[in-house]
Structure formats: C-alpha cells, structure tokens
Structure 1
C-alpha cells in the first residue's frame, strides 16, 4: 500500500489537478488507455491498474508528478513525437520510436501470445499459418518483441495480418469472426473475455515474454535533460520499497 503522504497525492495526480508544483516543475503528462489490468478507468473515470500504481510509486520516488491523459494507444505515439505527451507506459523500444523518444529501464514484463476462440487447434509456431486462409488481428501502433517482429516480417505472414484500431476491438473481432487469431497480451484479452458474455478464448501459442519500459519524449528531455536519469533513479528506489512488491502481489500471474 502507498504511504499515507503518497496516498493523499495520488487522487490529485490521477485527476490531472496539478499545475505548477511547489518546486516549479510541471507535472509529466502520461498517456493511458483502456488496457486492463494494466490501465483501465476507475469508478470516477480516473485510471487505475498495475501500470498506474507502479508508475505513481516511481514518480514519487523520483520527485515527479504525473498527469494522466486518456488517449488511444495509436495516438499516444504521435502525441509523444509532437510533444503533447511526455511519457507513455508499457512501451517497447523500436528504431522508429527512438527517433522521437528515449526509454527508461524496464519496470515490468509482459507476455505476447497468439489467441483464438476456445477450441482452436494449438500451434507450435507462427509459420504453421502460412498458406492458410486466415486473418491475424493486432492492435495498430503496437511494437512486438524483436523475435516476434522478425518472424512476422515473413511476406506470407504479412499477408495475414489485419490491423485493429483500438484495444477493445480485439475481442469483438475474434467473436465476430472478422479475424481468426489475435496477437496480444493474453492477460488483458482473457480478462475482457471473462467479463463480457460470449464465446471463451484461449492461448493458441505463447510467443514471448518481454520487458516494457516508460517511453520519454525527446521534447520534454530538451527542456529537462536530467529527467531520464531521475526516472531511472526513481525506479530503482521504488523497486526497493515494500509498496512495490505489495502492488505486484495484487496482480498475481502478471
């Protein structure tokens, strides 16, 4: 649990109520989307979830404030490139993203898997789908781990890929038979499926477990060149606090 002082600060941060702080620093604008259990709307509309809790601990340890701004995932990257967002959680480095951002040390791991409707035959590798009349959905704007990206560069697999334009479309696309498979973090997709009536889903093929980072826009680093180091130092301090382990314990299996 958060210390009493930090718990008092958290609702203000999530509501985006901070302007200039006592130290003269603006809050850091951080994007979020409906991505349970990592980010999701709380009862008041403010975000909650694993990423929110961990990154609030990191921010307090770094002496920073966060202003959470809801954005579709694909839009967050453009906003960070243009300087309209300072931070993006749950991010994977890619050459394209490194042109407009830098990345903190990883703060958690995530799984990447191929999922289908319950009863879908399991696979041993993605290459088994080549030549089949199937579609593989993925969220537009996501970046997969290097090993998965390399496999998907195969032209025969490229022809099967179907971009989806929001996190919440993966489930409806599968159940509506607009795609046959989805590549996603199984934790979020299976959670959605359990909460919404309809056919169950299952993991067809585990693809990777990879670290995710906090993306830091180069626009904010121009004004605050020490920020990346401050965030990394805050992460190291937060990891050694009892609250960090307590947060992770509230999300078993992640």
Structure 2
C-alpha cells in the first residue's frame, strides 16, 4: 500500500510539474512596443528604462507565462504597425471604435486630462469658456492623442478657428509652451507630474482640472489578427489578478505617489 501511495504521489507531482511547464511555454513570445511618455516609460540617468508600463508588462509576463520581445517606437509607428498587422502588442492605449477593429484593449488604468496655463494668463482665460472666447489664445496637443469627451468637444471648436498646434511628442509640446507660441497644453497626470517636479517649469505654469467628470481608459493593446484569443485571455487574466491583489496600485504608487495612484485605479467593467 505504501508503494502504491508513493507511486500516486510521484505521478501527481509529475502532473503538476508538467502543468507548470505547459503554462510557462504555452503562450510563447510576442513583440511588444513601448513608447516614451512621462512616468509610463522613461529613461534613468544611467540610460536604463523604467516606468509604469515596464513594471506592468514584466508582472504580466510572470503571471501569464508569456514572453515579450520589447522594442522602443514612436506612437505614430506603433499605431501604423498595429493597424497593418505587423506588431503584436503595445501599452497604455486608448480604445476608439476605429482602433477596436484591429486590436483588443485590456484596461489597467483610467485617468483624465488637465490643462496647463501660463501663470500670467488673463483671468478670463482661466476657464474653458473664457479661453474659448478669446480668439488670441492657442493650445497645443500631441498628435493622435485622445483627450476625453469634454476636452475633445472644446478642441473641436478651437480646431475650427485654427487655434490648435500639434506636436509629435511631449518634448516638442513643452517647447511650444515655454517659447510662448501657445498659451496652454493638455496633459495627463502621467505627463504633468514629472514635469512639475522641475522648478523651472513649475514656476511658469498653473494646473487646472477642467474636466473632472472625464475618464480615459488605458489598456494593453493586443492585435486581434496576430494574437490568438487564448493568449489574449491569458493576458487579461493576469491584468485582472494584478488589480485584485493590489499589485497595479503598488506600481502606480511607485511612480506617481499614493494620491495620484488612487486616481489611476480602473473600476470599470471587465469584459
């Protein structure tokens, strides 16, 4: 009887080991593109990279058994490659009906945009309506960014009056603002939080929350064509487990502080 029990124990352990091995290899490798932006993905002084997205991806790899071959790309090239089915995944993307035709989005944080104005902005320009009513005031945005319902409606009116500048990245956006070619820029906390830590920038700007009701969901962007549903389900399960056990909030806190980390928490539907 002892030999039989021992045999069953060995067989059971072998099954567990085989199952673990299968889990670790079943997902395989996927190419994932990062892009540099604020606290999402940024470079240390020594040249190494860190950020919310990097920490999220590394934890997803541990929990899903998936391996990610990562590259650094521009946002424009990332969206082009995803649309053309030449890239598997990217990070912190905002779903739209057009994008959801070729990609599935797995949400892991939600936030909203704020407005940064020059400190000497006239009083009438400190509100959304007042800014809109002054034909001399201009705003800059990053190309291809989505800004939430309230800001997008406001920007549409400014576009019609040719009062919007487009920048290719955050550095170009900031240069437009500091050179006073524009009077305002729109940014998420993941962008303005590190900017306002710099004294030379902090002393020049006012930060306003013009759209507190807006919520912009960000998620992993996964190609529907190149990544099977089974692998997408593994990624989704990993993200949700990270939300449930507090890992996501720990990551946000590490890069943003506890107050803003709570603002980034995603409490929306799971699908």
Q: Distance in 2 between matches of 1:249 and 1:60?
A: 20
Match of 1:143 among 146, 168, 182: 146
Higher deviation after alignment, 146-155 or 88-97:
146-155
For 2:231 and 2:151, the matched residues in 1 are separated by: 31
- The aligned counterpart of 1:218 is 224
1:168 counterpart SS class: helix
Q: Per-residue deviation at 1:174?
A: 0.4
State how many pairs are aligned: 231
1:185 to 185, 188, 208: 188
CA gap 1:68/1:24 in 2 versus in 1, 3 angstroms: same
Instruction: Indicate the larger mover: 135-144 or 114-123.
Output: 114-123
State whether structure 2 residue 177 is matched by structure 1 residue 171: no
Cα drift, residue 70 of structure 1: 1.0
Structure 1 Cα separation of the partners of residues 231 and 153 of structure 2? 32
Pick from 61, 64, 84 the counterpart of residue 63 of structure 2: 61
For residues 57-96 of structure 1, the aligned pairs below 5 Å read: 57-96=59-98
Quick check: 59-68 or 151-160, which moved more? 151-160
Displacement of 1:143 in angstroms is: 1.7
Which structure shows the higher helix fraction?
2
CA contact (8 A) 1:54 1:247 kept: yes
Q: Cα distance 1:54–1:206, how it changes in 2: closer, same or farther (>3 A)?
A: farther
CA contact (8 A) 1:39 1:48 kept: yes
Give 1:241 deviation, angstroms. 3.5
- Note if 1:113 corresponds to 2:117: no
- Give the unaligned 5+ runs of structure 2: 1-22, 262-271
1:9 corresponding residue in structure 2: none
What residue number does 1:231 align with? 235
RMSD of aligned residue pairs (Cα, Å): 2.7
Among 208, 219, 244, the residue aligned to 1:204: 208
Alpha carbons of 1:202 and 1:31: their partners in 2 closer, same or farther (altered >3 Å)?
A: farther
CA distance in 1, matches of 2:153, 2:82: 26
- Hey, what's the Cα distance between the residues in 2 that align with 1:51 and 1:115? 24
Return closer, same or farther for 1:189/1:93 CA change in 2, 3 Å cut-off. Answer: same
Give me the TM-score of the superposition, normalised by structure 2. 0.74
Deviation at 1:242, TM superposition (A): 5.2
8 Å contact kept, 1:81–1:219: no
Distance 1:167 1:215 in 2: 21
Which consecutive aligned stretches of 4+ in structure 1 deviate over 4 angstroms post-superposition? 155-158
After TM superposition, the score normalised by the length of structure 1 is 0.78
Equivalents in 2 of 1:57, 1:101: separation in Å? 21
Bigger Rg, which one: 2
Contact 2:119/2:205 (<8 A) preserved: yes
Is there any run of 5+ residues in structure 1 with no aligned partner, and where? Answer: 1-20
